[in-house]
């Protein structure tokens, strides 16, 4: 009678933890998000019930309904796996589900996963910290709910030394770029957009933060290449480092990474 909140990692099943793979193989039922890669779901034995509660645009499943479902399943089954993309507690609302389970008296545990916040930059050629270039990394959401105040203090972030990783940031990229530049980040700050990291469709684009303000550039980003066309993550990384080092300005040493599912 345990609900396991399990991180599925960024996509590639080989980036699952050993514990996650074991729990998937022995689960009675698996409740998963839209973000979980098909290749990971393929590891679930065919007789095990798979419930998709993915919150897609136009078909949202309210969080309260998901938590209620987990409580119900937790009372019925020995091993319930709640599978979430990346890490359950990194912008995954795993904490809310854990609280709901505690309040309902259902036993739970958490199995941390490889978060896309670190894995997507890494696979796109960006080490999120790098001695002499980035001494800190900040992970934020670029998503703004309609009519709500923004949680992220972009002005403060622009002043912090280090890499900024923006999850769910593509729709708001123009205003994010604008606010970072207004607050003092150089328009030349290198930006990597990493799309579908750790999956067959992985794509990486690199340009200056100012380009984020141009819809045209983002829709057809210069330098986009498929994973196969990239020479290798390492070469890419050296290219970024050269680009950053060439600039003789403290502000320009920081990279901004937007990660796209
Ligand atoms: C709701 S958040 C969940 C993050 C997740 N819990 C994690 O730790 O990776 C969803 C966002 O994570 C990012 N993301 C998730 N998987 C990704 C991947 N494979 N490649 C790039 N970005 C990804 C995207 O920004 C996406 O909009």
Show which of 111, 136, 152 is a domain's final residue.
Answer: 111
Q: Which residue has the higher pLDDT, 115 or 223?
A: 115
CA of 90 to the centre of ligand 1 (A): 9
Q: Are residues 173 and 238 in the same domain?
A: yes
- Between 1 and 2, residue with greater pLDDT: 2
**122 and 91, same structural domain?**
no
Alpha-carbon Rg for the chain, nearest whole angstrom, is 20
Instruction: Grade residue 180 by pLDDT with cuts at 50, 70 and 90.
Output: confident
Q: Are residues 103 and 150 in the same domain?
A: no
Instruction: From the CA of 94, give the closest atom in ligand 1.
Output: 6
pLDDT at 209: 64
| Residue 257: per-residue pLDDT | 67
Domain that holds residue 158: 116-260
Same domain, yes or no, for 67 and 129?
Answer: no
Identified catalytic residue from 12, 33, 37, 87: 33
Domain match, 66 and 165 both = no
Examine the domain organization and report whether 208 and 163 are in the same domain.
Answer: yes
What's the mean pLDDT in 101-120? Answer: 96
* Set 28, 52, 55, 153: catalytic member: 55
For the question of residue 168 being annotated catalytic, the response is yes
Q: What percent of the chain has pLDDT over 70?
A: 74
pLDDT score at 214: 52
Distance from residue 102's CA to the centre of ligand 1 (Å): 26
Q: How far is CA 105 from CA 6, 67, 79, 151, in A?
A: 19, 13, 15, 32
Q: Is 1 labeled as catalytic in the residue annotation?
A: no
For β-strands 79-84 and 49-52, DSSP reports them as unpaired
19 C-alpha vs ligand 1 centroid, how far in Å?
Answer: 21
Q: What is the whole-number distance in angstroms between the Cα of residue 147 and the centre of ligand 1?
A: 23
Residues 133 and 241 in one domain: yes
Domain endpoint, select from 63, 82, 111: 111
Q: Are 98 and 201 in a shared domain?
A: no
CATH of the domain at 214: 3.30.950.10
For residues 89 and 187, state if they share a domain: no
56 and 9, same domain (yes or no) = yes
Give ligand 1 pocket residues (Cβ under 6 A). 10-11, 35, 84-87, 90-92, 115-117, 120, 167-168, 194, 196-199, 259-261
Q: Which of 12, 20, 33, 85 to mutate to test the pocket of ligand 1 (most atoms within 8 A of CB)?
A: 85
Contact 194, 121 (CB under 8 A): yes
Same domain, 65 and 181: no
CB contact burial 161-197 (16+ within 10 A = b; e otherwise): ebbbbbbbbbebbebbbbbbbeeebbebbbbbbbbbb
Q: How many domains does the chain have?
A: 2
What is the 260 CA–ligand 1 centroid distance (Å)? 7
Domain stop point among 49, 77, 111: 111
Write down the number of H helices and E strands in the chain: 9, 11
Catalytic residue among 1, 19, 37, 168: 168
Locate the DSSP E strands across 163-247.
163-167, 190-195, 203-208, 225-226
Does residue 83 sit in the same domain as residue 124?
A: no
The CATH number of the domain holding residue 9 is 3.40.1010.10
- What is the mean predicted confidence (pLDDT) over 245-261? 46
Q: What confidence tens digit (pLDDT) does each residue in 212-237 have?
A: 655 444 443 444 444 333 333 333 34
Q: Is the pTM of this model over 0.95?
A: no
């Amino acid at each position: 009678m345990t609900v396991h909140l399990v991180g599925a990692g960024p996509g590639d099943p080989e980036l699952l933890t050993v514990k996650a793979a074991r729990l998937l193989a022995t689960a009675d039922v698996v409740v998963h998000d839209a973000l979980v890669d098909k290749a990971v779901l393929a590891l679930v034995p065919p007789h095990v019930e798979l419930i998709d509660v993915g919150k897609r645009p136009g078909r949202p499943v309210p969080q309260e309904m998901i938590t209620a479902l987990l409580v119900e399943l937790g009372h019925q089954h020995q091993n319930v796996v709640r599978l979430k993309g990346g890490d359950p507690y990194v912008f995954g609302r795993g904490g809310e589900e854990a609280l709901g389970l505690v309040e309902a008296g259902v036993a739970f545990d958490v199995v941390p996963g490889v978060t896309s916040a670190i894995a997507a930059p890494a696979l796109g050629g960006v080490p999120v910290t790098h001695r002499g270039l980035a001494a800190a990394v900040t992970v934020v959401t670029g998503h703004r709910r309609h009519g709500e105040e923004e949680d992220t203090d972009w002005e403060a972030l622009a002043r912090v030394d280090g890499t900024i990783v923006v999850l769910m940031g593509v729709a708001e990229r123009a205003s994010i770029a604008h606010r970072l530049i207004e607050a003092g980040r150089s328009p030349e700050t290198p930006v990597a957009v990493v799309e579908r990291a750790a999956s067959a469709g992985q794509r990486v684009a690199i340009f200056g933060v100012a380009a984020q303000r141009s819809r045209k550039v983002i829709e057809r980003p210069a330098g986009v290449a498929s994973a196969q066309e990239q020479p290798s993550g390492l070469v890419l990384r050296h290219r970024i480092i050269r680009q950053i080092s060439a600039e003789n300005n403290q502000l320009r040493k920081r990279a901004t990474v937007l990660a796209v599912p």
